[in-house]
Amino acid sequence: MDRRKKDSEKTPASKASVVEASPAISASEVFTVNLLCGVGLALSLWVANTIYSINLVTDPSLTLFIISIIELPIVILLYGRYRQNRQRCSYLRAVGRGILGVPIGALLNSLGAIALGAPVTFQHLAKTLNWSLMMSLFTIVPASCVLGSSWADWKRIFAQTKPNGSIEYLICLQAYGAVIGGWFGAWPMPLDWERPWQEWPISVSYGTLSGYLVALVASLGFVLAHRRLQHVKKD
């Protein structure tokens, strides 16, 4: 699951990204996007806690599902606005791409999790499914809204970690944050503390969420820093 950030090798960077850059967005917009994502997360946890009176530990499956359901429209609608090639691609199409990205991302994430040791027995099926839905929303769905089917961009952002422009920073950092957070979240699972949260996928979800939250803040900071740097360069 770990697409660890490595400085890219000495190969020439992204030849393909000249097509059309995604629209520039302002710092305040970035802030709003991140804030809305964060608020959505908080809202879903609150809903789970007060309305259904459950949390990740008591009913991980349903909680994850609630998170996915609430985050899904937020993420798709928000990121659909920042699609590439605005002229050729309508907002609706971007939303459609995002929805299409959900099962694909879920599949990829669950495969990764299984490769790393997630249980595959039948009673874990629902948990794995809901967890990978959530992961998909954090990793693949924003990218599929924005990038569509442009393989070169996908490769540039996720494999080479060379994001270009604010929105790509958001996508890249948040996806990496969620994945790396989840990866670290798996560590306490084998320990013999016999706490309920050591079950799959609770600790991994905690890791994912905290990684994602850190990435939300970090991406904002990155965007701001990046902007300042460009200003300085211009001067």
Q: Which of 191, 217, 225, 229 binds another protein (CB under 8 A)?
A: 191
Question: Please, which residue, 70 or 186, has the CB nearer to another protein?
Answer: 186
Question: Please, which residue, 10 or 231, has the CB nearer to another protein?
Answer: 10
Q: How far is the CB of 175 from another protein (least distance, A)?
A: 12
Q: How far is the CB of 171 from another protein (least distance, A)?
A: 16
Q: How far is the CB of 10 from another protein (least distance, A)?
A: 6
Is 234 a binder of another protein (CB under 8 A)? no
Handedness of CA 107, 110, 116, 118 (dihedral sign): negative
Q: Which of 159, 217, 225, 229 binds another protein (CB under 8 A)?
A: 159
Q: How far is the CB of 103 from another protein (least distance, A)?
A: 20
CB 129 within 8 A of CB 200: no
In the structure, how many helices (H) and strands (E) does the chain have? 7, 0
Is 107 a binder of another protein (CB under 8 A)? no
Distance CA 116, CA 1 (A): 7
Give the up-direction half-sphere exposure of residue 33: CA atoms within 13 A in the CB hemisphere.
27
Question: Please, which residue, 103 or 117, has the CB nearer to another protein?
Answer: 117
| Residues in region 194-213 near another protein by CB under 8 A | none
CB 55 within 8 A of CB 48: yes
Instruction: Output the six-digit token pair for 164.
Output: 């270009």
Is 6 a binder of another protein (CB under 8 A)? yes
Distance CA 160, CA 221 (A): 21
Is 114 a binder of another protein (CB under 8 A)? yes
Q: Which amino acid is at 198?
A: Q
Interacting stretch for another protein, rule CB under 8 A, among 7-15, 32-40, 99-107, 129-137?
7-15
The closest of 137, 117, 218 to 177, measured between CA atoms, is 218
